[in-house]
Structure 1
């Protein structure tokens, strides 16, 4: 067995299914038809990915078009991919009903997860990924009490997901209420490592002004996965405070996210992969291309470049 084959066995690559392809009437979502989904899965497999991640809200299309998560996963496997590894629970953070720092909304959130995990129970997932706080402008000022209320909620949610054999893991967007180094460290000090994990997004942490490698090294024992993507910009001023979506509305930056291997990228992926190796992480790394088609970008191109970079740069480090 070669060094690269050995590395491939300990680290596998999953693709987070942000995707658009160009159709006659404009961009086409891969979930549009069975044909567009098949074309998407063929491209993901052809570039060398092992599996996919998806969004929680896609479950309705799985039921409507394929007959449920298990039936959709059969299609994924028929295209040569292993399975669905993680799902991202993209909740509507409305402070009236869904705000982790507000205890009066907790029972609603807990019931949401009881129902959600039942829906996904027919397949094996590694992680259900959440943004652990509301949008920053709905949580500020961030206080110790708010962090403790938030931690208390996710400890309870983690118990629910653990009952289904799934890790509850937290993903900190740059516009999330918990996004600074100080607040992230405090949040994890208040949560139970048995029930709450960290999902490192290399670009999001860079945009928020953090070093994702240093963050990972501090919390490596809590990390259950990664989104590997790059950025060329750090958020400034009120970039993290724009409604309804700072990734779209922040006036300073037209495109936040780029593929690994991009020129002028801020993420030191070679240092990150070295840290992954040195901390003996084994399992899945997810590649993500959120809004890759902005400013003339192309999802298929970004995906191929990232997979080349993973195979020819990162896997050589992890040996």
Structure 2
């Protein structure tokens, strides 16, 4: 039997570019210089990843330091990686002008995406990822009307991104307004599957008290991607209500996120990958290491461990 070619592989692995390396004066972001970026891309390629994801706000550094998204992607390809697969639209959710549950802010959000998609149009993206609600404390109490208004907003945004050949996909952080199982189900009942997809983050859903495998099984027909990372903790009490960032400010937990294969992790990745296989998903899975360097952690170590786990455990399940 002939070997499977790169193009025939059902699953490819992209790396979401959270990263810090240790410099002489402290942690160094890979966007610090062409040298630090090159070192980052070499490590991602060497561990066996196929591509990268990035953040929408990085486009300014792409323009300033590389000449734009297409020129930066040339550098990515020069290091043996395929391309930029997804970008995360990390918007500044402000109830005065950017809150999906408030219809009076929708015109501003739509214009933001028209401009944003124009900037990215010189390269091919699969998804633009959004958190579909403001922070929890700016949206509560969560009502059906607020969920419906949010859905209406993202349906319209999804029409805009579809015009550029890019899927609009929603990523539910444990501290965002739409994070509980009932609210997620209500939200998707009002969204149009042609224009609004789901992006499953295994750790974020676990932290919010959801089973990411069951969530994926229910919505597999509209899942357009994944963040695979682990956690050891479920949010309790007011963990999801701390300003300005519950991932940093919640007093119960010093480090929320860990790599796949971590001891005592709560995500059942073998069940997750079995569900991915059984639902016939083909395409990209993104590995993410948000704040991996907290409590003595190391990005390069977490990345290597995750890639080992993907290759030696998960790829054995999905053959």
TM-score by length of 2: 0.98
Q: Secondary structure at the match of 2:9?
A: helix
How far apart are 1:92 and its partner, in Å? Answer: 0.3
CA distance in 2, matches of 1:38, 1:51: 14
1:155 equivalenced with 2:167 (yes/no): no
CA distance in 2, matches of 1:217, 1:80: 34
The Cα offsets for residues 206-227 of structure 1, whole Å up to 9 and x where unpaired, read as 0000000000000000100000
Q: Secondary structure at the match of 1:192?
A: coil
Equivalent residue number for residue 231 of structure 1 = 231
The 5 A counterparts of 1:247-266 are 247-266=247-266
CA distance in 1, matches of 2:7, 2:91: 35
Equivalent residue number for residue 47 of structure 1 = 47
The 5 A counterparts of 1:30-41 are 30-41=30-41
Equivalent residue number for residue 244 of structure 1 = 244
How far apart are 1:7 and its partner, in Å? Answer: 10
How far apart are 1:118 and its partner, in Å? Answer: 0.1
Equivalent residue number for residue 171 of structure 2 = 171
TM-score by length of 1: 0.98
1:87 equivalenced with 2:87 (yes/no): yes
Equivalent residue number for residue 212 of structure 1 = 212
Equivalent residue number for residue 65 of structure 2 = 65
* Runs of 4+ that moved beyond 4 A: 1-8
Q: Identify if the C-alpha distance between structure 1 residues 62 and 273 changes in structure 2 by more than 3 Å, giving closer, same or farther.
A: same
Deviates more, 1:7-16 or 1:18-27: 7-16
Equivalent residue number for residue 186 of structure 1 = 186
How far apart are 1:4 and its partner, in Å? Answer: 7.8
CA distance in 2, matches of 1:221, 1:83: 25
Q: Secondary structure at the match of 1:31?
A: helix
How far apart are 1:126 and its partner, in Å? Answer: 0.1
- Contact 1:127-1:167 at 8 Å conserved across structures: yes
Which consecutive residues of structure 2, in runs of 5 or more, have no partner in the other structure? none
Equivalent residue number for residue 77 of structure 1 = 77
Equivalent residue number for residue 197 of structure 1 = 197
Q: CA RMSD in A?
A: 1.2
Q: Secondary structure at the match of 1:199?
A: strand
State the aligned residue count. Answer: 319
The Cα offsets for residues 65-118 of structure 1, whole Å up to 9 and x where unpaired, read as 000000000000000000000000000000001000000000000000000000
CA distance in 2, matches of 1:183, 1:10: 32
